[in-house]
Amino acid sequence: MTNRIDTRLADLRKQGRAAFVTFLMAGDPDPATSLAIVEALPEAGADIIEIGMPFTDPMADGPAIQAAGLRALKGGMTLRKTLDLVRGFRAGDDHTPIVLMGYYNPIYIYGVETFLADAKAAGVDGLIIVDLPPEEDEELCLPAMAAGLNFIRLATPTTDDKRLPAVLANTSGFVYYVSITGITGAAAANAARVGEAVARIKRHTRLPVCVGFGIRTPDAARDIAGAADGAVVGTALVEALAKSLDAGSRATPATVKAVADLTASLAQGVRAAARAAG
């Protein structure tokens, strides 16, 4: 089945460059600003947009993304409103892939089948659910694939060759390689080691491999983009957003621009990469 993610990654492959994947939290700091930010991302150079689904207990996230989730929840964000955000974005952009990323409980409480139908209808293309390893595929992964959504799996430095086939078995869209053992925003990724890991994963799959965690600057984005099919940046964008807020954590006239500007400079980094992965 062809979908926006496959199409976009195939196009970029033809252009000979890696994808730039951005992550921001839905509803951070409020639903209207969040929509304006997401709408500004494609023009600023984002190829694939990941949108975080806020959760009170984000066990794999560092302080910046934890705070973003809490700001969004404080602003009244819910999973239903996250789908509204995607629908709002889709009204003006039918091409840029949207991937929702987060934790399972809000989806489980929404109801898996209803959620998948509503997400598909809203224009969501894929899901990344941090706390659903292959051992729990029956929960959401298999139903999501049946509903025509990509289920993008995280592979990590601890996912060895013995385990990779299990991790890749029901993965689609792309593989998200977590470049460090750790939480989001913690440490910097080493491009050489990332290159080896990407090569190792590619021995097991033909899916594109995008790399995230620890990429904060245009130079780092360039290095990683040279070693993989895509580079994901989250914490740095979330921090730029946070820095633009007023003392009460409310959006200011500078907020959308702060995120768009950093997106543009990171995108330049990605586009400057010598294409290595293939």
Partner 1 sequence: MTIQKPNSFRSGPDERGHFGMFGGRFVAETLMPLILDLEKAYAEAKADPAFQREMNGYLKDYVGRPSPLYFAQRLTEHLGGAKIYLKREELNHTGSHKVNNVLGQIMVARRMGKQRIIAETGAGQHGVATATLCARFGLDCVVYMGAVDVARQEPNVIRMEMLGAKVVPVQSGTRTLKDAMNEALRDWVTNVHDTFYCIGTVAGPHPYPMMVRDFQSIIGVETRAQMQEAEGRLPDSLIACIGGGSNAMGLFHPFLDDPSVEIFGVEAAGHGLDKLHAASLTGGRPGVLHGNRTYLLMDADGQIQDAHSISAGLDYPGIGPEHSWLHETGRVTYLSATDEEALSAFQLLSRLEGIIPALESAHAIARVIDLAPKRPKDHLMVVNLSGRGDKDVPQVGDILKSRKTT
State the minimum distance, in angstroms, from the CB of residue 239 to partner 1.
16
Based on the shown chain and the rule CB under 8 A, indicate whether residue 63 belongs to the binding site for partner 1: yes
Number of residues that bind partner 1 (CB under 8 A): 45
Radius of gyration of the chain (CA): 17
- Which tokens sit at 111? 């109801």
Tokens 């460090």, residue? Answer: 180
Active-site residue (options: 6, 28, 47, 50): 50
Nearer to partner 1, 90 or 163 (CB): 163
Based on the shown chain and the rule CB under 8 A, indicate whether residue 62 belongs to the binding site for partner 1: yes
Binding test (CB under 8 A) with partner 1, winner from 157, 204, 205, 261: 157
Give CA torsion, residues 72, 256, 178, 52, to 10 deg: 30
One-character DSSP codes across 30-69: -HHHHHHHHHHHHHHT-SEEEEE---S--TT--HHHHHHH
Stretch that binds partner 1, among 8-16, 28-36, 104-112, 202-210 (CB under 8 A): 104-112
CA 185 to chain centre: 14
Stretch that binds partner 1, among 22-30, 42-50, 177-185, 190-198 (CB under 8 A): 177-185
Based on the shown chain and the rule CB under 8 A, indicate whether residue 135 belongs to the binding site for partner 1: yes
Q: Note if 61 is an active site residue.
A: yes
Q: Is residue 213 a contact partner of residue 184, using CB atoms and an 8 Å limit? A: yes
Based on the shown chain and the rule CB under 8 A, indicate whether residue 167 belongs to the binding site for partner 1: yes
Task: Provide the phi-psi class of 177: left if phi over 0, else alpha when psi is between -120 and 50, else beta.
Answer: beta
Q: Is residue 19 a contact partner of residue 48, using CB atoms and an 8 Å limit? A: yes
- Separation CA 226–CA 199 (nearest Å): 12
Based on the shown chain and the rule CB under 8 A, indicate whether residue 200 belongs to the binding site for partner 1: no
State the minimum distance, in angstroms, from the CB of residue 212 to partner 1.
13
One-character DSSP codes across 96-157: S-EEEEE-HHHHHHH-HHHHHHHHHHHT--EEEETT--GGGTTTTHHHHHHTT-EEPPEE-T
Based on the shown chain and the rule CB under 8 A, indicate whether residue 80 belongs to the binding site for partner 1: yes
Stretch that binds partner 1, among 93-101, 144-152, 180-188, 189-197 (CB under 8 A): 180-188
Based on the shown chain and the rule CB under 8 A, indicate whether residue 181 belongs to the binding site for partner 1: yes
Nearer to partner 1, 60 or 272 (CB): 60
Residues forming the active site:
50, 61
Contacts with partner 1, residue ranges (CB under 8 A) = 54-63, 66, 73, 78-80, 103-110, 130-136, 153-160, 163, 167, 178, 181-183, 186
